[in-house]
Every structure is written in C-alpha cells, then in structure tokens.
C-alpha cells in the first residue's frame, strides 16, 4: 500500500512541477530570474519543475507571489 502512495505522490509532484514551469514561462521568466526574485537557487527551481523536489508550502507561497498567481493556481487542473 505504501509503494502505491509513494508513486501517486511522485506523479503528483511531477504534475505540480510542470504547472509551475507553465506559469513561469507564461510570465516570461527564466528559471534564473524566478530564482533571483524568489531568493532561491536556480537548481532548486529546476528540481521543483522536474518533480525531483517537493516544494514546501512556504516556497509555493513565495513562487506564487513572484508569478502573480495564487497558491491554489498551482493545483488547478491537477
């Protein structure tokens, strides 16, 4: 049962990352620019967008602010 939950969470993290990437690109920001504005490093942004890192709620809040969206927008359509 636990393996299924992990796989489902991993798939969700990938979808979330793609959504963040989509919103970043719609804003016309590079990973570098979003990282700078969010006080994160570019590698962290890349890992989040690839689904290799699950962002904390506080990180989602900062990213949403810099992308001019709500945190809920990251989850729309997932």
- State pLDDT tens for residues 22-78: 999 999 999 999 999 999 999 999 999 999 999 999 999 999 999 999 999 999 988
Question: Residue 69 belongs to what domain range?
Answer: 2-74
Read off the pTM: 0.90
Alpha-carbon dihedral sign for residues 24, 25, 26, 28: positive
Cα gap 5→13, rounded to integer Å: 12
| Alpha helices (H) along the chain | 2-27, 31-38, 42-50, 57-67
**Residue 48: how many other CB atoms lie within 10 Å:** 24
Which CATH number characterizes residue 10's domain?
Answer: 1.10.260.40
- Tally of domains in the chain: 1
């Amino acid at each position: 049962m636990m393996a299924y939950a992990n796989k489902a969470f991993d798939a969700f993290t990938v979808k979330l990352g793609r959504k963040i990437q989509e919103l970043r690109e719609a804003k016309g920001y590079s990973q570098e620019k979003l990282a700078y504005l969010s006080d994160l490093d570019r590698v962290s942004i890349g890992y989040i967008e690839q689904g290799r890192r699950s962002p904390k709620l506080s990180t989602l809040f900062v990213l949403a602010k810099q992308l001019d969206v709500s945190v809920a927008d990251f989850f729309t359509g997932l």
